[in-house]
Amino acid sequence: MEQAREILHRIFGYEAFRGTQEQVIDHVIGGGDALVLMPTGGGKSLCYQIPALARDGVGVVISPLIALMQDQVDALRALGVRADFLNSTQDLDTRRGVEAAFLAGDLDLLYLAPEGLSSPATQRLLDRGRISLFAIDEAHCVSQWGHDFRPDYLALAMLHERWPAVPRIALTATATPATQAEIALRLNLKEARRFTASFDRPNIQYRIVPKNEPRKQLLDLLRTEHRGDAGIVYCLSRASVDKTAELLVQQGIPALPYHAGLDAETRAANQSRFLREDGLVMVATIAFGMGIDKPDVRFVAHLDLPKSVEGYYQETGRAGRDGLPSTAWLAYGLQDVVQQRKMIDGSEGDAAHRRVLAGHLDAMLALCETVECRRVRLLAHFGEDGAACGNCDTCLAPPASWDGTVPAQKLLSTVLRLRRERNQRFGAGQSIDILLGKKTDKVIQFDHASLSVFGVGAELREAEWRGVVRQLLAQGLLAVEGEHGTLALTEASGEVLRGARQVMMRREPERPARAAKASRS
C-alpha cells in the first residue's frame, strides 16, 4: 500500500519494510485482526504504529512495560508522532491532560497498561473517543502456562466484545505452537490472520558450556572475545547479580546491577545508562530486558539456567539486534538442575502447574544436552525446520556421544543401596565420593566404605561423574527431592538398573586447560 510506504519513509526514515511487516500493516490498515509472531528486534512496533497513523482515530497500545512507556513515547514524539500514555505512575492533572487530548483526537497513539483497561472509568473514556486499532504488545503474557503470565491480560478478551468494529493486532516474540493457540483462544483472535516471521537469528552464536567456576569463565569470555562490548549477564538471584557486578567492576569492566531489590530510581538510572553509554555490561535478573531496544548488545551471558526455552530465546534475543555477530553464552551445571527441580517442587500451584514447569525445564535441559546443532533444536522448539548452522558450539566442535550405561548403573545403584540398605538419602556429592572411593569425614561417619559400590567408579573423574548425574537428571532417569536436593530413583531408573535401557551421554569437548592438566599427571 502506497500510504504505508510513504509513512515509513517520511516519518520513520526507513528505506524498506522488513520481513512480514508490509503484509501485516496492509492487513491492519484494511481493518483486519492480526496475530503477529516476530522475534525480538524484528520490528514489531511499526506493525501497529504505521496503521495507527494511517487510520482515523487513536491507536491504543496495551503494553505491560510501564517503565518504558515514557521512553517509547519520547522516541515517537522525536519523530513528530503525537503519542502519550496513561498509567498508574501519573498524577491526576497529567492524566486529565492526556484524556482530553485523546477525546479531542489530538493523539496518534495512546499507550495503556493492561490493568488500566480493567477500570470502568478508562473503558468509558475509550467509549467516548475514536479508536483506530488496539495493539496488544507482549501478547504471550496472556498465556497462563507461559513464563510471563500477567493476569490482567485475561481481561483483554473483552476488547472484541466492547469494541467489535475496532481491529486488533496482538504481537509477541515468544510463542510455541501451543502458546499461539492459547493467545488466539484467550484474546478472542481465532479468526485473526497469523503472520509468523522466522525465529532464526543467524548472527547469534549459541554456546552452552559446562559450569565450573562461572564468574571466572565469564571473565575469560569478556576479556578474550568481548573487550569493551556492551552486554547483558543474567543471574538467577539478586545476591548473585550484586556479587557479579562488583567483581566485574573490580576487574576493570564497567558493569551495573539491575534487579527488583534495587529502588526504582537506581533501576531507572542504570537502565538509561546502559541504553545511552557504550560498552557497559548490565548484570541483571530477568526483571531486566523486556522491551529494551539497544541494537549493539554484543553478548548475552547466562550464569544460571533459564527456566524455559522461551525465556532463553527471549533473553538471548536481546543480543545483536543490529544484525552483527553476537554471542549467546550459557554456563550450565548439575547444581542448576538440582536447584530448579527443587524450586518446582516447592512452587505454589497445583500438580498440573508443576508438571508444566517441569516440562519447560525438561525442554531447556534437552537443549543444553543436545549433540545436535543448538540452533536447529531451538528453532524446532518454535515449530521451524532448519539445517545445521555451522556457527554454534556443537556445530563447531561436535561433542561425541558415549555409552554411559555402566556408569549410570553404578550411580543409580549407589542411590538405591543408600536407600535400601541404609535408609539414607544423600545428594550428588556423597554418591560421587562413594563411587570414587574417597574416605571423607562424611564417608567415615556413615561407614559408606563398607558399601559394595565403594570405589567402583574410578574410571571417571569427579567432574565427569557430575556430568553423569546432570545428564541422568536431564533425561529423567534420576530425580532430586526435598529441600536438600537428595537423589531419588524414577520409574525409568529401574530399566537402566535392569540393563533394559541404554543411556547415551554427551561428552563435553576437551578444554585446553583440562588437556594440560591431564598430561602433567
H-state helical runs in 304-440: 309-316, 334-345, 351-369, 374-381, 393-396, 405-422, 428-436
Does 293 contact ligand ADP by CB under 6 A?
yes
Looking at the DSSP assignment, which residues form a beta bridge with residue 282?
A: 232, 256
Half-sphere exposure of 102 (CA within 13 A, CB side): 26
User: With respect to ligand ADP, which residue has the nearer C-beta, 44 or 140?
Assistant: 44
* Binding to Zn ion, residues 372-391 (CB under 5 A): 373, 375, 389
Rounded distance between C-alpha atoms, residue 408 and residue 277, angstroms: 50
Q: Which does 44 bind (CB under 5 to 8 A by kind): Zn ion, ligand ADP, none?
A: ligand ADP
Rounded distance between C-alpha atoms, residue 389 and residue 374, angstroms: 8
Does 140 contact ligand ADP by CB under 6 A?
no
- Total residues interacting with Zn ion, rule: CB under 5 A: 5
Rounded distance between C-alpha atoms, residue 324 and residue 204, angstroms: 8
Nearest approach in angstroms of CB 157 to ligand ADP is 23
Nearest approach in angstroms of CB 504 to ligand ADP is 38
Does 18 contact ligand ADP by CB under 6 A?
yes
User: With respect to ligand ADP, which residue has the nearer C-beta, 18 or 273?
Assistant: 18
Does 63 contact ligand ADP by CB under 6 A?
no
User: With respect to ligand ADP, which residue has the nearer C-beta, 67 or 356?
Assistant: 67
Task: Tell me which of 25, 37, 38, 435 binds ligand ADP, using CB under 6 A.
Answer: 38
Rounded distance between C-alpha atoms, residue 72 and residue 97, angstroms: 18
Task: Tell me which of 7, 28, 42, 209 binds ligand ADP, using CB under 6 A.
Answer: 42
Instruction: Reduce the DSSP state of residue 328 to 3 states and report it.
Output: strand
> Which of 325, 298, 328 has the alpha carbon at shortest distance from 312?
328
Does 314 contact ligand ADP by CB under 6 A?
no
Stretch that binds ligand ADP, among 16-24, 331-339, 351-359, 454-462 (CB under 6 A): 16-24
H or E segment and range at residue 63: none
Crossing angle of helices 214-225/238-250, nearest 10°? Answer: 50
In Å, how far are 123, 172, 210, 412 from 115, measured between CA atoms?
11, 19, 42, 50
Task: Tell me which of 24, 27, 29, 40 binds ligand ADP, using CB under 6 A.
Answer: 40
* Cell matching residue 342: 527443587
User: With respect to Zn ion, which residue has the nearer C-beta, 104 or 397?
Assistant: 397
Rounded distance between C-alpha atoms, residue 73 and residue 60, angstroms: 13
Task: Tell me which of 392, 434, 480, 496 binds Zn ion, using CB under 5 A.
Answer: 392
User: With respect to Zn ion, which residue has the nearer C-beta, 4 or 389?
Assistant: 389
User: With respect to ligand ADP, which residue has the nearer C-beta, 293 or 464?
Assistant: 293
Name the site residues for ligand ADP (rule: CB under 6 A): 14, 17-18, 21, 38, 40-46, 293, 295, 321
